[in-house]
A and B are shown apart, each in its own frame.
Chain A
């Protein structure tokens, strides 16, 4: 007990303030920093760096698909390596790390009103182990035989056989080692995020006053802590299969007429473990996006989020449901039809909380004072894209429709729309929204609008035609489609068109990166609260916030995060730390 005088109806502080580690040198301030904000930027920069590698890989794939036979250096083996590394990097090393390590670290302590994460030292270790994981991953590009080409799902037995690039070289070993390191590093950070939200909130900040951004990141982190163990175990077991010659996943199998030393393992077991991780992973990426987009829409439409509690329970419900749908990725693995029935049912049930969220976003916009700022444009683009990708999800969730569409470009189009483009649009929107807080300057508006329109329209021009290709039966993961009878003349033209669009959209990302760097010095001064937002991170005494976030006294929270355009208030927003005397609240009782 520190403070015993209840201030304006707020209970006293329950936990004594923990003294922060104060850095003594440049190294401990900017490199081995324990400040969550510095760690967040380190995470984001590393994720962006490795994400650029994945972007270049996607260009190389599109060069091959759009203009087959033109580029000699893209052999079928290289193509598989590009596919594998592109998928793995984008899903895990970019999106997961950026949403949880980047946005989680930056926003959680600020939004819940904490000085820092609860264990800053462990938080710092989390980043350095993540960096190590990334370096191990990158090293596989330079290893003999190159990176693994097993596909991002790394299905055995092919993943560790000599016919697959990296299967009997270093590629798969480095990939699995990197995943194991990533999971260890993530666990260190993830424990911090969860405990900070549960136990480290400021006075007056109840769980039901948390901004939805925090709810999204929090739920995703809990899910990650329960889903990554399955990937960890699968990676360890496959590593043993590859290095020690065990047969967890390897059945009796012969290769090039030669019997391999394996016997009696179950490749399906790997699929179960992988997808028990893999499906929650989709929502680990999506839930932070849901949360962030809710806050972007509410702030830039100057209106309270519609159905806050329903939004919270939808996030939690989606998180829970996502643990019982994993086998919908395995309809063609030969499982019992009743299982297919069960998993199709659970899969389609997820549409309910997801639809609640979409309706509530739309109803938040309804009669709002919509400002078409760049974050808002990205948020609107997200809603459209997510609905699009979600609808094709209904197709693929049904067994009878999925079976013929399985392993076609339709699947590629679906998951790129729903868990590639949609979350990335939110990442961009969030960066345009919080960049002023992190740097004190706005991103350039003209470049930003150019970036938005090219990315948004371009993404549709890339992925919409892919649905048609998939319905025609064009398979995914094929390096060479030239001689297939289903590949008509027009399908080839479509492929070339998609490739050209991919280069253009990729180029727009370079403009965005230039904007990020250029605006640090040349951007317009932002001030402390350029969007006139209510949440605590905009109420810090300094911008960017200093170490410890809130100056001498921690803020006290008197209201929810969505008091926009409250009738009778002087301004169209009332920050969370303004007492009741400052204006009425629309917080649900």
Chain B
């Protein structure tokens, strides 16, 4: 059992459950034991970002339930004509599959990172980045298709103007998150490949050394972006 020193210097078994949480929060130095600064910062950032996406989605729902004009039917709007028949939501199904898969490769990258397997970690991170880029590419395709069909932020042929506004705004904001993630995945993969986390090479901007934990922190962000997509998928495409 893990042991800890209390504030009076005695060694005693570390309490678990709620008592453990209370003990950690009333201790000195750190409220979250064994959580590094970077990881804590990422979690708190993601909490803040959750509020941003939450506000976006709530605003979209408000617009959708309060409009008096019919809302375009997502099954028809997001259908692709393949082999002579309209398949509803096929593109979005593939996109979702790609993005969820990228979470799997990311998780594997984290695993190999902690095993110090530089090659596999870097390859899996680049694969994650490639899947993310594919997602963004397909999103660009979807945007192009909708734009050619006449969907604009200020109106569309089928109903409420807020459909196009919300769609471009929310998927655009999410796509920006994915793009930023892809860029950082490539940066961190390069650091892993070069062995920066083994040699203690300092960051160009921050002049700080990094650790393999950075792969996990990167992964937190990536899984968050995927999780947000699940909500966008459910509220925008399935509703």
Contacts and interface: CB of A to CB of B under 8 A. Distances in A.
Contacts of A194: 44
Contact of B45 (A6, A187, A234, A244): A187
A237 B55 CA distance: 11
B158 interface: no
B62 A269 contact: yes
B28 A206 contact: yes
A264 B162 contact: yes
Contacts, number: 156
A205 interface: yes
A240 to B, nearest CB: 6
Contacts of B5: 6, 11-12
A557 interface: yes
A246 B29 contact: no
B15 to A, nearest CB: 15
Interface string B38-61: 101100110111011011100100
B165 A246 contact: yes
Bin the interface of chain A by size: 35 or more
Contacts of B141: none
B208 A199 contact: no
A357 interface: no
Interface stretch (B66-74, B143-151, B183-191): B66-74
A294 interface: no
Contact of B7 (A13, A198, A206, A276): A206
Interface string B1-44: 00011111100000000000000011111111101111011001
Nearest to B165: A246
A18 B162 contact: no
B122 to A, nearest CB: 24
Interface in A113-129: 118-119, 121
Interface stretch (A223-231, A335-343, A467-475, A476-484): A223-231
Contacts of A19: 208
Interface in B47-101: 47-49, 51-52, 54-56, 59, 62-63, 66-69
A369 interface: no
Contacts of A208: 26
Contacts of A207: 25-26, 31
B234 to A, nearest CB: 19
Interface of B: 4-9, 25-33, 35-38, 40-41, 44-45, 47-49, 51-52, 54-56, 59, 62-63, 66-69, 153-154, 160-162, 164-165, 169, 173, 205-208
6 contacts: A6-B5, A11-B27, A119-B206, A225-B48, A240-B153, A269-B62
